[in-house]
Amino acid sequence: MSGLEGKVALVTGASKGIGAEIARELAARGAAVAVNYSGSKESAGKVVAGIKAGGGKAIAVQANLGDPDSIGPLVATVARELGPIDILVNNAGIYEFGPLGQVTPEHFHKQFNVNVLGLLLVTKEAVSHFSPRGGSVINISSVAADGVGGGAVYSATKGAVDSISAALAQELGPKKIRVNSLSPGMVETEGVHAAGFIGSDFQKETESRTPLGRIGQPRDIATAVALLASDDSTWITGQTIHAAGGARV
């Protein structure tokens, strides 16, 4: 796979889990990486320290993507400290599950404000700071975009992410900016452990529906992101790519 030397990447929601592994993978391939975090300053600092210890370049930048006013300063800081952006990974997201009877305006807007509006506004700001040579936007979606019972709002946000990716691929193509969605299935992260899914019947059921017979690991997603970020994928745009071992939902 082509390296990412000389490129600048912004990864949102990168203090832990999938985002942290994406940041480490991009840095290992030569990119200078901005590790965005909302509240986990210590965790983001550890990600940055690890990248630097391995000879890479990284900074941590705080911004709550549910707050539109924080997004402009986030992107401006990245461009000022690292240079023009080549790679944007919209990984930040939140999820809350519950049946239809528990859906409220607050439940709806909390998820849409981060997962959809935040993604759009970060992309809007980042594109204005992209390198003239173009680049790659990778939106982390989910197989849940196909619809998950008890997760109507979350599924809707990820369906929106896929639609946004397809639309922006058309709009930004003339700027040589590619836009794709990457849709993980169940991935073993700190959040999944905290939710009690590891070792549960849910994990066993998920694995039984996964042709490759296991749940994902953060690096499974990070290496797919690295491919989409690299020059090896310069003819891939407007796609939703499942990275879920063959599982759909």
pLDDT at 115 over 90: yes
Task: Provide the CATH topology of domain 8-239.
Answer: Rossmann fold (3.40.50)
pLDDT of residue 202: 84
Q: Tell me, yes or no, if 154 is annotated catalytic.
A: yes
Amino acid 7: pLDDT? 97
- For 202, the token pair is 């849910």
- Please check the confidence at residue 239 and state whether its pLDDT lies above 70: yes
SS3 label, residue 241: strand
Q: Is the pLDDT of residue 178 over 90?
A: yes
Percent of the chain whose predicted confidence (pLDDT) is above 70? 100
State the average pLDDT for the chain. Answer: 95
Residue 128's pLDDT band (boundaries 50, 70, 90)? very high
88 in helix, strand or coil?
strand
* Least trusted range by pLDDT, from 71-75, 130-134, 202-206: 202-206
Mean pLDDT, rounded, for 168-184: 98
Q: Among the options 78, 91, 154, 183, which is catalytic?
A: 154
Helix ranges (H only) for 29-134 are 41-53, 71-82, 105-112, 119-127
Q: Which residue has the higher pLDDT, 107 or 2?
A: 107
pLDDT of residue 248: 77
pLDDT of residue 161: 98
Least confident of 72-76, 100-104, 205-209: 205-209
Q: Does pLDDT of 222 surpass 70?
A: yes
Q: Do 87 and 31 form a contact (C-beta atoms < 8 A)?
A: yes
What is the pTM (predicted TM-score) of this model? Answer: 0.95
- Per-residue pLDDT, averaged over 3-32, amounts to 97
Which residues make Cβ contacts (< 8 Å) with residue 32, sequence separation at least 6?
7, 8, 9, 56, 57, 58, 82, 83
What confidence score (pLDDT) does residue 25 get? Answer: 98
User: Per the structure block, which two tokens stand in for 142?
Assistant: 């989910």
Predicted confidence at residue 1, as pLDDT, reads 64
In the predicted structure, residue 233 carries a pLDDT above the cut 80? yes
All structural domains of the chain with their residue ranges: 8-239
| C-alpha to C-alpha distance for 174 and 186, rounded to whole angstroms | 35
At CA 173, angle to CA 230 and CA 225, rounded to 5? 25
The yes-or-no verdict on residue 197 having pLDDT over 90 is no
